[in-house]
Amino acid sequence: MGAPPGYRPSAWVHLLHQLPRADFQLRPVPSVFAPQEQQYQQALLLVAALAGLGLGLSLIFIAVYLIRFCCCRPPEPPGSKIPSPGGGCVTWSCIVALLAGCTGIGIGFYGNSETSDGVSQLSSALLHANHTLSTIDHLVLETVERLGEAVRTELTTLEEVLEPRTELVAAARGARRQAEAAAQQLQGLAFWQGVPLSPLQVAENVSFVEEYRWLAYVLLLLLELLVCLFTLLGLAKQSKWLVIVMTVMSLLVLVLSWGSMGLEAATAVGLSDFCSNPDPYVLNLTQEETGLSSDILSYYFLCNQAVSNPFQQRLTLSQRALANIHSQLLGLEREAVPQFPSAQKPLLSLEETLNVTEGNFHQLVALLHCRGLHKDYGAALRGLCEDALEGLLFLLLFSLLSAGALATALCSLPRAWALFPPSDDYDDTDDDDPFNPQQESKRFVQWQSSI
């Protein structure tokens, strides 16, 4: 198979493609991209389920750790203000974990941007291919209409003018037959006309899904960033209520991180299978959706010397017919105009139509060559299999760092807030504040003594 220009499967594609796959019965599944097959779907779901297993193990570990911390710690003597040993280490381990989570957030923003760039490149390639196909249809339609108009008007008028000369009428009718033959051959060049699959619609659907995917990840990243920052603020201010709220939020973000990790892992594995050898799947899917012949699709998707241009015969016959029309018009202009001056006007109009038709024909020859559409195919693959896949791997790293950091924080935060002084909620209150409980108790004692 001919690889698109500038695209070669990356090392990440080869590495992920070599990973073993299994279905729900743990039977091996080939690493061939086949999303329509049940076994392959089960293999990807099993990859995503590994993240669910990781979430379950994380929650069990956190629960066991906190139960052990709550039930097995030695009782503190009443009135003791000596901090428990290891308190500073617990606080600092939580801080380091949160800072690692912030680093993962930066990686996540980069991965989200890379994935978006790759999908945008895919959409741009689809839009450019749609422009090429639409231009081919437009040029064919315009050229056929021009030739048909010339047959109905100028050539008919020319035959009427030249009616006294039988041989000249025969030459005009020969030009008519050649114009009709050229129009018939050109009609077959609009191969995408009437095809139900529209690259424009596919590009719009891809962009629509990508917008919501990008927004969802931005919200997840901002949510985790806020959780990390407010947790650090709660530790610095020794505010129990803020740390408790952020502990609950950390648990929520932990679940979301493991969920996103499952989606990213399954998508990355499936994308690596597709990118390792995309041509067979793209050819089969496009043929099913469009109904076009395999010769046409192979020519544009493979674009190598082993595949000939399926339109070469039509192009040759059209060019030959246009050349014959041109020679016949030159002969008529040379022989008929001196005898029939009124024939000059339709001949000039026919020559103008022929010049425009030849210009459109040369554009069609260039557009129908496989280079242009194959270049768009290669750009789409590079965007999907290089930038988008790289971005997915960075998002996977973000989810992994996020899950580890939040799990560590959830283990450390309850021990950290247990070390906070009991009066931490009143440390920042003013001594003259009438709502300060300490001031209220003092005023109550003074009132009793005065009585």
Do the beta carbons of residue 389 and residue 110 sit within 8 Å?
no
Do the beta carbons of residue 43 and residue 266 sit within 8 Å?
no
Identify the sign of the CA torsion 110, 116, 117, 122: positive
Q: What is the pLDDT of residue 365?
A: 94
Buried b (16+ CB within 10 A) or exposed e, 99-119: ebbbebbebbbbbbbbbbbbb
Q: What is the pLDDT of residue 105?
A: 95
Cβ atoms within 10 A of the Cβ of 146, count? Answer: 18
H helix runs in 188-277, sequence order: 199-237, 240-276
Do the beta carbons of residue 371 and residue 303 sit within 8 Å?
yes
**What gap in Å lies between CA 117 and CA 273, rounded to an integer?**
21
Q: What is the pLDDT of residue 414?
A: 77
Q: What is the pLDDT of residue 1?
A: 47
CA distances from 387 to 109, 116, 120 (A): 14, 8, 10
Q: What is the pLDDT of residue 41?
A: 94
414 CB contacts (<8 Å, ≥6 apart)? 66, 69, 70, 247
**CA proximity to 321, closest of 119, 184, 126:** 184
Q: What is the pLDDT of residue 265?
A: 95
Q: What is the pLDDT of residue 402?
A: 94
**What gap in Å lies between CA 287 and CA 138, rounded to an integer?**
23
Question: What are the residue ranges in the chain where pLDDT is below 70?
Answer: 1-6, 72-88, 417-419, 421-451
Which sequence spans correspond to the domains of the chain? 11-70+112-420
Q: What is the pLDDT of residue 87?
A: 52
Q: Can you give the pTM of this predicted structure?
A: 0.84
